[in-house]
Amino acid sequence: MAYSEFLADRIGRVLKEKGTIYEEKKMMGGLCYMVDDKMCLGIVHDELMARINPDLYEESLQKPGCKEMNFTGRPMKGYVFVDAEGIDTDDQLEYWIQLCLDFNPLAVKSKKKKKKK
């Protein structure tokens, strides 16, 4: 199991309660939630990967369980990991999901790679 199915169930429930249309994609060794064809949030192992407004990045790092997302050897501003301490309760999880949903309309879509023929 590359990601927490329990956390996936919790996230799915929150997104459905909010009426959010989303698509799940397995990538980066975890599960990503795409909203409007943009990566909005995800799960890596048992941590929430949150794509948040870069203006809230430093402030968010002060919250319990939140840390820099660092895949490449340097932090990715606007992306954070939140561990169990920060998403233990439904209210905590909903807080982070809402931050992701709030930023999603402002986020830039990734350019799709053209398929080789």
Q: What is the CATH number of the domain that holds 64?
A: 3.90.1150.30
Model confidence pLDDT, tens digit, residues 20-43:
999 999 987 899 999 999 999 999
pLDDT score for 27:
83
Could you count the other beta carbons within 10 Å of the beta carbon of residue 46?
Answer: 15
Residue 60 falls within a domain, yes or no? yes
Domain that holds residue 90: 5-105
Q: Is 105 left (phi over 0), alpha (psi -120 to 50) or beta?
A: alpha
pLDDT score for 13:
97
pLDDT band for position 108 (cuts 50, 70, 90): confident
pLDDT score for 112:
65
Residue 116 falls within a domain, yes or no? no
- 42 vs 32: CA distance, rounded Å: 4
Residue 30 falls within a domain, yes or no? yes
Model confidence pLDDT, tens digit, residues 63-103:
999 999 987 788 888 999 999 999 999 999 999 999 999 99
Judged against a pLDDT cut of 80, whether residue 4 lies above it is answered with yes
pLDDT score for 117:
57
pLDDT score for 84:
96
State the pTM of this model.
Answer: 0.90
What are the phi and psi torsion angles at 82 (to 5°)? -125, 120
Residue 86 falls within a domain, yes or no? yes
pLDDT score for 72:
76
Look at strands 79-82 and 66-68 and give their pairing: antiparallel
pLDDT score for 113:
62
The total of structural domains in the chain comes to 1
